[in-house]
């Protein structure tokens, strides 16, 4: 067994559909070093689990530490997670069903692993490091390939009956809206998720609308990234402007629903789409949310962008590992 006195460091891992990010932290949540690798989900669960373990080892090595100096590893997975058993129940982006991730990783790494849903972990990270005075109630909405939320009530993560609370991406905003990956129509994610934004642009281009993106990326708009949208916006591209504004309006509507239902003190927005398009989206989101929430119930509620960016997941993982190894 590793020497308990030496185990003072924490690792946070963000397992995404396209990349794995691991960070090593002190007990004060200071990041000492990071490592990143691609997920390669198509190679299957065993291969991905090995890639997670390798990424953790790389991050630890980057900090000139040994794995037996790690007290705990907190990991966020994109899907429904059985926290107690450390099992991924279902993760559609990875093609996973019923994967005993905690057990397999502990076997490979020899350190305790704690598993949570990825957006829950991001919310934990944001809540623990972004506020000097902690709000009692906070909802973190994370907009990337998909959309998810983490709900903090009275300072604690709210997980719901089946531990799946926060599936805000599948809140239905328009029953006649575009088809969502989940099978329903008009989900929030089908309007404002990264893939939905890309698809909308591609459809409009097929319909004959003009955008500078075709000059940048070619007619089929392959390999579009959030950064490309930002570049197009800087050049006053009307098509991208229209699509991004519409996506922002739907984010504002989702915030209005959250304000009406949960009435949190703060809504924090994060994830790749917000990181890339914060300047273009935030004002529209805030205005739409306050215009659409019930009159008066939105008084004093703040809607702000996260400062952690891409690091929310690894910081939250470290917060979880710290909480569980106290």
Which contacts of 79-86 are long-range, i.e. CB under 8 A and separated by 24 or more positions?
79/117, 79/118, 80/117, 80/162, 80/163, 80/164, 81/115, 81/116, 81/117, 81/163, 82/163, 83/114, 83/115, 83/116, 83/159, 83/163, 86/113, 86/114, 86/115
**Residue 10 interacts with Zn ion (CB under 5 A)?**
no
Instruction: CB nearer to Zn ion: give 176 or 223.
Output: 176
CA 82 vs. chain centroid, Å, equals: 18
Residues 62-121 within binding reach of Zn ion (CB under 5 A): none
**Residue 187 interacts with Zn ion (CB under 5 A)?**
yes
Instruction: CB nearer to Zn ion: give 189 or 237.
Output: 189
Choose one: 54-62, 123-131, 166-174, 234-242; the region binding Zn ion (CB under 5 A). Answer: 166-174
Instruction: CB nearer to Zn ion: give 26 or 184.
Output: 184
**Residue 182 interacts with Zn ion (CB under 5 A)?**
yes
d(CA 144, CA 272): 5
Choose one: 46-54, 80-88, 116-124, 175-183; the region binding Zn ion (CB under 5 A). Answer: 175-183
Choose one: 85-93, 122-130, 181-189, 299-307; the region binding Zn ion (CB under 5 A). Answer: 181-189
**Residue 153 interacts with Zn ion (CB under 5 A)?**
no
- Count of residues in contact with Zn ion, rule CB under 5 A: 5
Choose one: 21-29, 78-86, 168-176, 211-219; the region binding Zn ion (CB under 5 A). Answer: 168-176
Which contacts of 195-203 are long-range, i.e. CB under 8 A and separated by 24 or more positions?
195/145, 196/247, 197/229, 197/243, 197/244, 197/247, 197/273, 198/224, 200/243, 200/246, 200/247, 201/239, 201/240, 201/243
**Residue 281 interacts with Zn ion (CB under 5 A)?**
no
Q: How far is CA 249 from CA 14, 106, 188, in A?
A: 28, 43, 11
**Contact pick of 36, 40, 108, 170 for Zn ion (by CB under 5 A):** 170
**Residue 231 interacts with Zn ion (CB under 5 A)?**
no
Binding site for Zn ion (CB under 5 A): 170, 180, 182, 184, 187
């Amino acid at each position: 067994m590793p020497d308990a006195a030496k185990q003072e460091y924490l690792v946070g891992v963000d397992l995404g559909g396209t990349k794995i990010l691991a960070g090593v932290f002190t007990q004060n949540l200071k990041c000492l070093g990071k490592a990143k690798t691609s997920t390669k989900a198509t190679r299957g669960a065993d291969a991905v689990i090995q890639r997670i373990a390798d990424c953790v080892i790389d991050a630890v090595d980057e900090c000139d530490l040994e794995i037996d100096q790690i007290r705990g590893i907190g990991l966020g997975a994109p899907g429904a997670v059985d926290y107690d058993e450390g099992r991924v129940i279902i993760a559609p982006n990875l093609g996973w069903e019923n994967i005993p991730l905690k057990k397999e990783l502990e076997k490979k790494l020899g350190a305790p692993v704690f598993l949570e849903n990825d957006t829950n972990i991001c919310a934990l990270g944001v809540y623990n490091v972004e506020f000097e005075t902690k709000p009692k109630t906070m909802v973190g909405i994370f907009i990337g390939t998909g959309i998810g939320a983490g709900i903090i009530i009275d300072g604690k993560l709210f997980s719901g009956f089946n531990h799946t609370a926060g599936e805000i991406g599948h809140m239905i905003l328009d029953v006649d809206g575009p088809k969502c990956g989940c099978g329903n129509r008009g989900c929030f994610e089908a309007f404002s998720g990264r893939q939905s934004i890309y698809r909308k642009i591609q459809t409009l281009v097929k319909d004959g609308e003009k955008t500078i993106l075709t000059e940048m990326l070619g007619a089929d708009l392959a390999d579009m990234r959030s950064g490309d949208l930002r570049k197009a916006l800087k050049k006053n591209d009307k098509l991208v402007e229209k699509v991004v504004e519409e996506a922002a309006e739907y984010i504002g509507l989702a915030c209005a629903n959250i304000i009406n239902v949960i009435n949190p003190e703060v809504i924090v927005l994060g994830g790749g789409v917000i990181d890339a398009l914060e300047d273009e989206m935030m004002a529209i989101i805030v205005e739409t949310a306050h215009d659409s929430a019930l009159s008066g119930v939105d008084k004093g509620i703040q809607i702000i962008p996260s400062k952690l960016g891409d690091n929310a997941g690894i910081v939250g993982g470290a917060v979880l590992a710290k909480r569980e190894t106290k």
